Amino acid sequence: MQKKSATFHVSILSIFPEIFPGSLGYSLAGQALANNIWSYETINIRDFGITKHKNVDDEPYGGGNGLVMRPDVLGDAIDYALKSSPGAEIYYMSPRGKPITQALCKEISLKKEIIILCGRFEGIDERVIEEYNATEISLGDFVLSGGEIAAIAMLDSCIRLLPGVLANQSTLNDESFAQSQELLLEYPLYTRPAQWRGRSVPDVLLSGNHQKIKEWQESEAKKITAQRRPDLLN
């Protein structure tokens, strides 16, 4: 794909490259892809596999269950990606990595080119992480079958932050975890009709008093955050 003119380019390493772009080919991310605001290329790790069977994994040293992705295979695949994106930051999707946050996605979205490594099996050889100083990123405290879903989730959050993706960039300031919200969860949202199945829109939102509406939104955001994510208040 064309990439040098795009604001944000991603090289994705996976043994299932056909998964991409997946949901990133639709809605805001899909429109941004068509408009070359962001671009991507997939690199099939199996293309660098060993033996006639293109093996990418082997048994772990020291014993244990499962298989581990080989460093020689992954190293060749990463080197190939770095040829077209020299100096790109490398991210490895891993349940033991740092949790994805809005701040981290903002940081990633400001980079011109990145490389995402999607592991499989029990994980990858530790030496690959050390060799390339890869940043490990986690979607949450649970385990997936591979890094592809986590990569799509992270990219979706990054792409919507790129200039030109959202028609109204100011909406980003009111969302959960936005800096203007001091890491508060978003306040409740309502739209027409004002009455639905016996449930009413709060009167303050119909008052037209913008100061009182703002105070209500801030109060509700703090209340929801205290109930659901008290750790954010600390």
DSSP 185: P
Nearest to 54 by CA among 41, 40, 44, 39: 44
Q: What is d(CA 9, CA 17) in angstroms, rounded to the nearest whole number?
A: 16
DSSP 167: S
pLDDT of the residue at 106: 96
Q: Whole-prediction pTM value?
A: 0.85
The CATH architecture to which 174-233 belongs is: Orthogonal Bundle (1.10)
SS3 of residue 168 by DSSP = coil
What pLDDT, in 10s, does the model give residues 95-154? 999 999 999 999 999 999 999 999 999 999 999 999 999 999 999 999 999 999 999 999
Q: What is the CATH number of domain 8-159?
A: 3.40.1280.10
Q: Which helix (DSSP H) or strand (DSSP E) does residue 139 occupy?
A: none
In Å, how far are 40, 162, 222 from 44, measured between CA atoms? Answer: 13, 27, 45
Residues 6+ apart with CB under 8 A from 25: 33
The per-residue pLDDT of the chain, averaged, comes to: 92
Q: What percentage of the chain carries pLDDT values higher than 70?
A: 92
Q: Is the pLDDT of residue 181 over 80?
A: no
Q: What is d(CA 216, CA 198) in angstroms, rounded to the nearest whole number?
A: 22
What pLDDT, in 10s, does the model give residues 16-62? 999 999 999 999 999 999 999 999 999 999 999 999 999 999 999 99
Structure tokens that stand for 161 in this block: 């932050």
The domain segmentation of the chain, as residue ranges, is 8-159, 174-233
Structure tokens that stand for 231 in this block: 């750790």
